[in-house]
Amino acid sequence: MQGEKDMSKLWGGRFSSGLDPIAWEYNASISFDWRLAEVDIRGSIAWAKALMKAGVISLDEQQQIVKGLTDVLSEVRSGKFKHEPTDEDVHTAIERRLIELTGPVGGKLHTGRSRNDQIATDFTLWLVEAIDRIDAFVKLVQSALVDRAENDFGIILPGYTHFQQSQPILLSHWWLSHFWPLARDRQRLGQLRERAAVLPLGSGALAGTPYPVDRKFLANQLGLKAITPNSIDAVSNRDSAAEFLFVSTMIALHLSRLAEMLILYTSAEFGFIELSDAYSTGSSLMPQKKNPDTLELTRGKAGTMIGRLAGLLSVLKGLPSAYDKDLQEDKVPVFEASDTLCLMLPVVAGVLRTLEVHPEKMHKALDPAILATDLADYLVRKGVPFRQAHAMVGQIVRRAHDLNLLLNQLPLKEFQKVSPLFEEDVHGVFDFQASIAHRNVPGGTSPAAVQIQLQQARQFLEQHKIRSALPPETPRGGDGS
């Protein structure tokens, strides 16, 4: 029983009695840190090799430990691993099972190592894999956006600012406006991966290990690029966890903004797009409803992601030096953020690939008033300062409103009441295609500019390759369930 004297715990020797059962449950982390099992075993295998290299254990002992850890790994992957009531965390469970398989030699594995540098190492290894996994899923969404931009090329969409029609744009330009935020997210993921891939192992509890362990050898064994320079900082550093939550939150925010617009565009008032049945739900009361629940969940989960980031930052803000148990609170929000994105991103990619665009409804929604800036440019080309031209066109827009006419229906005489510079050709301004074609600067919405942008997007996808094969994640159960 946990409330009784228990020498099997990693730290039980100093205590005359065990934790209160409720305090034990409060303290234990195996319910959520079990997913670190595979990376914990990887780290332990590397540590065993480093101990042998340092002359702390013999080659035979190292081989026995590595064989035992490999057998434990097989049990973990097959789901046969059984938790015991004394398993406080993933490290305790694996070491306990190792000793069961190898006998006393398994007890030598933890020589010179603390759970403080062990968990920091496990979390580092897991984060690197999670970053690669999420990077792959973000790329799926980016690819879907590029494909949409290519397939929907030439379709004109009313562009909105302040949620008011502003200027005509190509739908392809709009799709790509959601590609580039995700490109920045992937750049952030890559930068985070570089900063995260630093080895804490060998830092001990806070002062470093007393054995001549080759930490660079350890880093190389675990595929990490460097070793931490300070053992106190190494065991308490959770910058990568916080940064992971920040980048995850930015990804979710960018998807939320896309989802918000797609939700509106699916409404009857817009009707610009229709979601596939595969990504929609119905109403239990109203038979006609087709709800964009997948997009609404995307929007909602972004808010939850912000909460996870704020929560971890609040935990970290006042911690004293070195490791403190508060840091156990780092894993759940990071794991949940990863799980959320690994569901959200493929769903959004699926929504994009299967939705149906209704170009005729987009065209019908185009208000000639969104060409008012083109009217001002008409005057500018005749020598009128832009500010003056802006005011003059404003008067024309007001006149059309008072006469209950569309801007392109206003007679020439009404234009000429404002300025004699308006001539018969003024009605030629009301050409949505021509307006778009005039925005032919890099990054603009003209067909030529968008084609270049498409090439840039494709180049980005080619140049930003996934860094490694995506390893399967350890099942969260460890009890065979």
Span 112-154, pLDDT tens digits? 999 999 999 999 999 999 999 999 999 999 999 999 999 999 9
Average pLDDT, the chain: 93
- Determine the pLDDT at residue 14: 60
Residue 312 C-beta-side C-alpha neighbours within 13 Å: 27
Q: What is the DSSP letter of 350?
A: H
Angle in degrees, 0-180, between the axes of helices 179-196 and 115-151, rounded to the nearest 10: 160
Which conformational region is residue 419 in: left (phi greater than 0), alpha (psi within -120 to 50 degrees), or beta? beta
Candidates 17, 31, 283, 314; catalytic one: 283
Residue 57 C-beta-side C-alpha neighbours within 13 Å: 23
Report the range of poorest mean pLDDT among 51-55, 123-127, 152-156, 318-322.
318-322
Tell me the C-alpha distance between 423 and 417, whole Å: 11
Neighbouring CB atoms inside 10 A of 425's CB total 9
pLDDT digits (tens, 9 = 90+) for 66-84: 999 999 999 999 999 999 9
**Does 283 qualify as catalytic in the annotation?**
yes
What residue ranges define each of the domains in the chain, with the CATH number in brackets?
12-108 (1.10.275.10), 115-162+170-215+223-364 (1.20.200.10), 367-438 (1.10.40.30)
Q: How far apart are the first and last CA of the chain?
A: 23
Find the mean pLDDT for residues 445-460.
98
Tell me the C-alpha distance between 334 and 336, whole Å: 5
Q: Residue 477: pLDDT above 50?
A: no
Angle in degrees, 0-180, between the axes of helices 447-463 and 115-151, rounded to the nearest 10: 150
- Determine the pLDDT at residue 108: 98
Find the mean pLDDT for residues 265-284.
95
Candidates 16, 162, 284, 481; catalytic one: 162
Task: Give yes or no for a contact between 97 and 75, defined as CB atoms under 8 angstroms apart.
Answer: yes
- b/e per residue 311-322 (b: at least 16 CB within 10 A): ebeebbeeeeeb
